[in-house]
Structure 1
Amino acid sequence: MEKIHLLKIKLKELEAVCNEHHNDAGELINILHAAQGIFGYLPREVQEVIADRLNIPVSRVYGVVTFYSFFTMTPKGKYPISVCLGTACYVRGAEKVLDEFQRQLEIKVGETTPDGLFSLDCLRCVGACGLAPVVTIAGKVYGRLSPEKVRDILSEYYLLEQV
């Protein structure tokens, strides 16, 4: 496994977060949320720093990171895409929308495009069942999607990169 090098400035931010939470192991989830905000994901090295600061085993940090689906140990794209596969969305064609995202981006679920712009994941419910099928991209909700709309949606984000 390749070791990554954490930027010193980001490490200082992480240490400040730990200090703000008094290096309290009871604040692990809050610290992990903040750490993921700083680094974009939670690689092994970040987990080791947190474990050291909170004086807990790395296995405990890893257990929390792998238990909660919000946390990720792999880098996400600048524009993370989540396709809802909850019942309402699935019944209304979410699987075909997902297939089209995979085809257009040439990646599978759980992967990130080589340019780092998009990552693709699934989730179980966005809570917008009346708009099914639903996709979120970088926090923006797109409802009543069809495979035909995927290209236009992705184009919006490619245009943002050209500005």
Structure 2
Amino acid sequence: MTEQELAFTQDELDEIERIKAKFPTNKAATLRVLWVAQEKYGHVKPEVQNLVADTLDLPRSHVHGVASFYTQYYKEETGTYVLDVCTCLSCQVCGGYDILHHLEDELGIKAGETTEDGMFTIQEVECLGACGYAPMLQVTNGVYANNLTKEKVDKLIENLRKGKKPEFESMVMRQNEKRKKELSQ
């Protein structure tokens, strides 16, 4: 999609206006508007970042800086499910790399790659703040799968192929749902 083909719908622009109204400046709304863009396009590649910058009337360099700083914003197209495997110290000690390598073997891809069918992308990430549940991973910026074993990973993949996510939600997912509810009021 070219930059000229990218656009927010009127409903999305209305949502962006509601977001902007909650902040003292458009700059302060950048994170939330990037979420709106990522929810729409599945990523925030440079042309999507430019759309956000233009919509907020901000320098493109500012939006690029924000998007590139946070790993939760996908700078490339990803699979339907992004599996963020934590390999920080707690997860590492509890088998985080074993889980990562098992996923790579099962899906036939390496960290940073997407399966040919476009269903899965694997990412190796730093701490997701759930050390007590190690080893763990996050599914597409939301649902956590924790206390993982190879068997649990196999079941997770099988369920995701059927469109069924794990039930344990992360704080990020709850915050996103709360934000959507607030914005719809």
How big is each residue's C-alpha offset from its partner over 1:121-160, in whole Å with a ceiling of 9 and x where there is no partner? 1222233323321122343333332335433321222234
Contact 2:6–2:48 (CA under 8 A) maintained in structure 1: no
Question: What one-letter code is carried by the residue in structure 2 that aligns with 1:35?
Answer: A
RMSD (CA atoms): 2.6
Alignment of 1:22-101 (within 5 A): 24-101=26-103
More relative contact order, 1 or 2 (CA 8 Å, 6+ apart): 1
Task: Check whether the contact 2:6–2:51 (CA below 8 A) recurs between aligned residues.
Answer: no
2:150 aligned with 1:152: no
Pair 55,160 (structure 1): closer, same or farther in 2 beyond 3 Å? closer
Instruction: Pick closer, same or farther for the CA change 1:130–1:52 going to 2, 3 Å.
Output: closer
Give the letter aligned to residue 142 of structure 1: A
Structure 1 moving runs of 4+ over 6 Å = none
Size of the alignment, in residue pairs? 159
- Classify the secondary structure of the residue corresponding to 1:76: coil
- In structure 2, stretches of 5+ residues that fail to align are 165-185
User: Any idea what the Cα deviations from partners look like across 1:73-127, whole Å, max 9, x if unmatched?
Assistant: 1122222211111211101111011011011111221222121211111222233
In the alignment, residue 74 of structure 1 is paired with which amino acid?
E
TM superposition score normalised by structure 1: 0.80
Percent of residue pairs bearing the same amino acid type: 30
Q: Distance in 1 between matches of 2:105 and 2:4?
A: 33
Note closer, same or farther for the CA distance 1:16–1:73 as it changes in structure 2 (3 Å cut): farther
CA contact (8 A) 1:134 1:142 kept: yes
Distance 1:63 1:131, change over 3 A: closer
Structure 1 distance, partners of 2:132, 2:72, is 24
Q: Which moved more, 1:32-41 or 1:134-143?
A: 134-143
In the superposition, the TM-score normalised over structure 2's length comes to 0.72
Distance across 1 between alignment mates of 2:94 and 2:69: 30
- Which residue in the other structure is 1:141 paired with? 144
Which amino acid is 2:98 matched to?
Answer: K
Three-state SS of the structure 2 residue aligned to 1:66 is helix
